[in-house]
């Protein structure tokens, strides 16, 4: 069994081994071993130049990573958590996402920016954001959300081959998830969504930390003979419209599970797209299970109430499936 954390670490190690232009930089990625212990041991293996601790200066080191990419390197930038990425948004939005276009195609920015995202660990309002859907608003970026150990192992290398900036969001609750991983597991495609469970009655669309939630809900629903298809988006920008529409064309019903706040969520985008492209396929409006629109509270019971849960997904599916089952 391999944990998501170990898979991520193996992916970084492989990248450092295979391409000497690759290096890891971020706060405490070296001696500390990473805020979430993802890079533990890599400093010893690759040295302080390629596993590069930075001071607390998110704008500075994210911008430096972008500059290094312009200079021919392939940086993996770790922002300890998505919450701190707000300090680096100018660099991400105004530079990384924009330079290629502004320069008329001359300067691409082959950088990968990884960060931990999400709530559920009682870290309260400043440490529990789920901003991956929000970031997916920005043209010029590609946004990934590995939900499985296999994707944690395989998305990084593919992302590093992308000539343009890629953000990878690792949900904090996934690091300890373990599953079997083939010895030769390696790069995976990052262009397509994946069906994690096939079903006929409803499509539950999820990504990252909400995939296990969706699968749990699907299990519970199976007991009520509701047969759910679970679609893992995997890539949040660009969205795999075909996968979404194919599934919805089959089930005629969908529920989107998204840990982002409801208003302006990625779930809203999916609703809009399904309506635009499959309006007449739908037997019910697409439903959303998102986070409550509150800064995430510390207290366990309040936090749990704020975030999507299998129970809330089950309830939403029941509503969508309605009297038809």
Partner 1 sequence: MITERARVAIEEDPEHARDLLRQMLRVRRFEEACVELYSATKIRGFLHVYIGEEAVATGVMSVVGPDDSVVATYREHGHALLRGIPATAIMAEMFGRVEGCCRGRGGSMHLFDRESRFFGGNAIVAGGLPLAVGLALADKMRGRDAVTVCFFGEGAVAEGEFHESMNLAALWDLPVLFCCENNLYAMGTALDRSESQTDLALKAAGYAVAAWAVDGMDVLEVESAARRAVDAIRAGSGPHFLELRTYRFRAHSMFDPERYRSKAEVEQWMGRDPVAQLKAALETADELPDDTWSKLQKDVDDEVREAIAFAEAGHLEPVDQLERFVYSDRVAPT
Helix (H, G, I), strand (E, B) or coil at 42: helix
Q: Considering only residues 60-119, where is the footprint of ligand TPP by CB under 6 A? A: 80, 84, 87
Catalytic member of 127, 129, 171, 252: 127
**Pairing of the two strands 22-26 and 142-144:** unpaired
CB of 13 to partner 1, least distance (A): 18
Site string for partner 1, 190-219 (x = CB under 8 A): ------------------------------
- Give the chain's length: 325
Site string for partner 1, 252-281 (x = CB under 8 A): ------------------------------
Contacts of 289 (CB under 8 A, 6+ apart): 255, 256, 257, 258, 267, 308, 312, 313, 316
Is 162 exposed, middle or buried, given 0-12, 13-18 or 19+ CB atoms closer than 10 A?
A: middle
- Residue 110 touches which member of its own copies, ligand TPP, partner 1, none, C-beta under 5-8 Å by kind: partner 1
Closest CA to 203 of 217, 186, 188: 217
- 253 and 320 in contact (C-beta within 8 Å)? yes
Residue 58 annotated among the catalytic residues of the structure? yes
Among 17, 37, 45, 56, binds ligand TPP (CB under 6 A): 56
- Residue 89 touches which member of its own copies, ligand TPP, partner 1, none, C-beta under 5-8 Å by kind: its own copies
Is the peptide bond preceding residue 79 cis, with omega within 30 degrees of 0?
no
Q: What is the tally of helices (H) and strands (E) in the chain?
A: 13, 14
CB of 297 to partner 1, least distance (A): 4
How many residues at the interface with partner 1, by CB under 8 A? 75
27 binds ligand TPP (CB under 6 A): yes
Site string for partner 1, 100-139 (x = CB under 8 A): xxxxxxxxx-x----------xxxxxxx-----------x
CB of 318 to ligand TPP, least distance (A): 40
- Residue 271 touches which member of its own copies, partner 1, ligand TPP, none, C-beta under 5-8 Å by kind: its own copies
Q: Token digits for 274?
A: 């399904």
**Pairing of the two strands 2-3 and 142-144:** unpaired
- 180 and 203 in contact (C-beta within 8 Å)? no
- Residue 276 touches which member of ligand TPP, partner 1, its own copies, none, C-beta under 5-8 Å by kind: its own copies
- How many whole angstroms separate alpha carbon 305 and alpha carbon 298? 11
SS3 labels along 191-209 = CCCEEEECCCCEEEEECCC
- 63 and 97 in contact (C-beta within 8 Å)? no
Residue 269 annotated among the catalytic residues of the structure? no
CA 62 to chain centroid, in Å, comes to 19
Note the residues at the interface with its own copies (CB under 8 A).
59, 83-84, 86-87, 89-90, 93-94, 97-98, 101-102, 124-126, 129, 133-134, 136-140, 237, 239, 260-261, 263-269, 271-272, 275-276, 279, 282, 284-288, 293-295, 297
CB closer to its own copies, 21 vs 137: 137
* Residues at the site binding ligand TPP, with contacts judged by CB under 6 A: 27, 56, 58, 80, 84, 87
């Amino acid at each position: 069994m391999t944990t998501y954390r170990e898979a991520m670490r193996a992916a970084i190690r492989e990248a450092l081994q295979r391409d000497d232009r690759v290096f890891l930089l971020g706060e405490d990625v070296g001696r500390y071993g990473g805020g979430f212990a993802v890079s533990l041991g890599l400093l010893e293996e690759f040295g302080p130049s390629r596993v590069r601790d930075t001071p607390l200066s998110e704008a500075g080191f994210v911008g430096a990573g972008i500059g290094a990419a312009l200079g021919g390197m392939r940086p993996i930038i770790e922002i300890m958590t998505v919450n701190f990425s707000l300090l680096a948004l100018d660099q991400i939005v105004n530079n990384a996402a924009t330079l290629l276009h502004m320069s008329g195609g001359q300067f691409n920015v082959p950088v990968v920016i990884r960060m931990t995202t999400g709530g559920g660990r009682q870290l309260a309002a400043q440490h529990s954001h789920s901003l991956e859907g929000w970031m997916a608003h920005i043209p010029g970026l590609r946004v990934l959300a590995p939900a499985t150990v296999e994707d944690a192992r395989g998305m990084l290398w593919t992302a590093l081959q992308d000539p343009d900036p890629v953000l990878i969001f690792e949900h904090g609750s996934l690091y300890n998830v373990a599953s079997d991983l083939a010895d030769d597991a390696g790069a995976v495609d990052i262009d397509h969504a994946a069906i994690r469970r096939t079903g006929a009655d409803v499509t539950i669309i999820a990504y990252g930390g909400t995939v296990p939630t969706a699968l749990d809900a699907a299990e519970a629903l199976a007991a009520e003979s509701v047969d759910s298809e679970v679609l893992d988006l995997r890539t949040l920008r660009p969205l795999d419209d075909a996968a979404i529409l194919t599934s919805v064309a089959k089930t005629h019903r969908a529920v989107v599970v998204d840990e982002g706040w409801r208003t302006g969520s990625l779930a809203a985008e999916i609703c809009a797209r399904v309506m635009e492209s499959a309006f007449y396929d739908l037997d019910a409006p697409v439903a959303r299970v998102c986070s409550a629109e509150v800064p995430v509270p510390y207290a366990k019971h309040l936090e749990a109430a704020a975030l999507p849960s299998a129970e809330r997904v089950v309830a939403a599916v029941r509503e969508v499936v309605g009297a038809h089952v």
